[in-house]
Amino acid sequence: MLAAMLTLLVALWAPLALASPADWLAKLRPTPVPTTPPPLTVQVICPGYSPAAVEAQVARPVEGAVTRLPGLAKLSSTAREGVLELALTFEAQVPPGRAAQRTREALDAARATLPDDCEPALLRRQPGTILRRYALPGGDPAARARAARIAEGLERFAGITEVRACGLPDPHLKVEADARRLAAFGLTLEAVAAALAPTPGADVQALSAVMLTPKVRLSDVATLRLEDTPRCHCEVDGAAAVCLTVLGHGGAPLKLDEAAADARLLPTQASDVHVHLAEADRWSAVFAAARRAVPGATLHLEADGPTIRARVPASQRPALEAALRALPGVQLAHSRDPGEPVTEIWLGGPADALPPLLEATRAALSAARIGRAVEDPAPPVPAELQVRLSSHGRRMGITPHALAQAVRAGLEGVPAGRPGATPITVIQSPRPELTDLTVATPGGARVPLSAVATIERLAGPQPVQRRDGRPGHALWVVGATPAQVEPALQALSLPAGVTVTLQPRP
């Protein structure tokens, strides 16, 4: 068995590393078994539900079902727009398999108490903390293939739970259905997606011949395009690259730096700055602004959806932050220098008492000049277009779930194909405006979106956080320890039922 593993490692790493595979084995030793197992994560998807509705109708019954599980040490949850996220930490003596099985059983028992259009799912254990970040320069196919092999190889070693790669190709097939042709044949995006559901792959020629009706082929109403562009973008000093984030558990760090040096990876030990974009497709403009802000400095950038992560030398962080803050539609979310302490303030209590207390806490920290920054890990969603089901729509039998599905299908497309195969998305061409969308009634008729919903640009709702069954809210004080934060909070006047807890963040 050992000989077979060594043979596999030789085949995987010999073309990539300067040192021998035996050196890799010596350097990547297992980490000690952690004393506290990683949390289990649960998601409950409820399309169209506000954070307050998710908390009231979903969080409370689900927490009630899991809080009595034997060996449960800690329970936390966050209710966001359309989703509840829970983290369950069990005591070390509870076997992971038993904890997962008990959680599944509790979720099954809770289904009867949830709204019909809410679906709970037990996800895998959280992958742990970030051990190292690396960047492999090169955006050509050979460099990307090499990065994929390195990421796969790292995941084989004990102590590493996941290696996230940003900048690798992401093959996906787009089916652009012509709106006028669909209407002429009485077809919908959902009907096209249903016809493609049995397809095993993404062969453009074969899919073009799929029959949608006895007389209509897919090629009669749509064009197909196979793309392999990365959905996550990475660059190092202005050049394309693949960024690797290594996650794992354990008290002692793995000797990843030596191993990464053998594989000719660039370590990214620097300050972290994260921002959120109002429009995810503006990532290239933000990359350009970051380059201009710190010319000549080592700069690593990642864009993953609406989130951009930047890494620069600590001395360059203030200039980078100032440049990113000045951009429209960009919100600074996270900023860390290497080794910088972070203290979490947890304010637990009634939801209506928290907003003024959060402001008073921020003011007290500012007056005492404690910390470099105060971050909100669950900030309100920035102003955006919000679609709400009207009372008339409810009387017609339309549910928030059906409304959310109609909006998502019209603006983002409908997924198709088999699970595990190349993703296929059926989209309408040209892309419709929000006001042009229609919604299906329970009887099958389609009505204009504006007839059953309101459309407004509003500030997004505040996510609702809970711990061990009680609501609350967290603030992170960057650049300060709990001992430094505590004196600044002693003068706060706490309403009845409100508690304050301080703890260091890892």
Residue 419 lies in a domain: no
Q: Who has greater pLDDT, 261 or 71?
A: 71
Q: Do residue 245 and residue 111 come from a single domain?
A: no
Q: Do residue 13 and residue 65 come from a single domain?
A: no
**Could you give the residue ranges of the DSSP H alpha helices within 326-415?**
354-367, 391-395, 400-412
> How sure is the predictor about 327, in pLDDT bands with cuts at 50, 70 and 90?
very high
Residue 52 lies in a domain: yes
pLDDT of 379 reads 79
Residue 474 lies in a domain: yes
Long-range contacts of 210-217 (CB under 8 A, 24+ apart): 212/185, 212/187, 213/185, 213/187, 216/185, 216/187
Q: Do residue 257 and residue 111 come from a single domain?
A: no
Q: Do residue 47 and residue 121 come from a single domain?
A: yes
Q: Do residue 65 and residue 148 come from a single domain?
A: no
Q: Do residue 3 and residue 143 come from a single domain?
A: yes
Q: Write the CATH number for 487.
A: 3.30.70.1440
Residue 191 lies in a domain: no
Number of domains in the chain: 3
Task: Please check the confidence at residue 9 and state whether its pLDDT lies above 50.
Answer: no
- Reported as a single tens digit per residue, the pLDDT across 206-261 is 888 889 999 999 999 999 988 888 889 999 999 999 999 888 875 445 567 777 77
pLDDT of 382 reads 66
Count of H-run helices and E-run strands, the chain:
17, 28
With CA atoms as reference, report the closest residue to 161 among 124, 133, 192, 106.
Answer: 124
| Distance separating alpha carbons of residues 187 and 192, to the nearest angstrom | 7
Categorise residue 486: left if φ over 0, alpha if ψ from -120 to 50, beta otherwise. alpha
> How sure is the predictor about 38, in pLDDT bands with cuts at 50, 70 and 90?
confident
Q: Do residue 82 and residue 137 come from a single domain?
A: no
| Distance separating alpha carbons of residues 497 and 29, to the nearest angstrom | 48
For residue 356, what are the contacts with CB-CB under 8 A and spacing of at least 6? none
pLDDT of 93 reads 86
Last residue of a domain, one of 71, 105, 125: 125
Residue 280 lies in a domain: no
Domain hosting 498: range is 342-381+462-504
Residue 397 lies in a domain: no
pLDDT of 37 reads 66
Q: Pairing relation of β-strands 438-440 and 446-448?
A: antiparallel
Q: Do residue 121 and residue 18 come from a single domain?
A: no
Could you give the C-alpha distances from 238 to 275, 288, 360, 463, in angstroms and in order? 18, 9, 42, 36
With CA atoms as reference, report the closest residue to 460 among 402, 379, 399, 390.
Answer: 379
Q: Do residue 261 and residue 363 come from a single domain?
A: no
Angle in degrees, CA 55, 59, 61, rounded to 5: 125
Q: Do residue 94 and residue 20 come from a single domain?
A: no
Residue 456 lies in a domain: no
Interaxial angle between packed helices 2-13 and 141-154, expressed in degrees from 0 to 180 and rounded to the nearest 10: 160
Q: Write the CATH number for 48.
A: 3.30.70.1430
Last residue of a domain, one of 125, 153, 182: 125
**C-alpha of 445 from chain center:** 36
pLDDT of 251 reads 46
Q: Do residue 117 and residue 6 come from a single domain?
A: no
Q: Do residue 135 and residue 94 come from a single domain?
A: no
Last residue of a domain, one of 220, 250, 266: 266
Residue 146 lies in a domain: yes
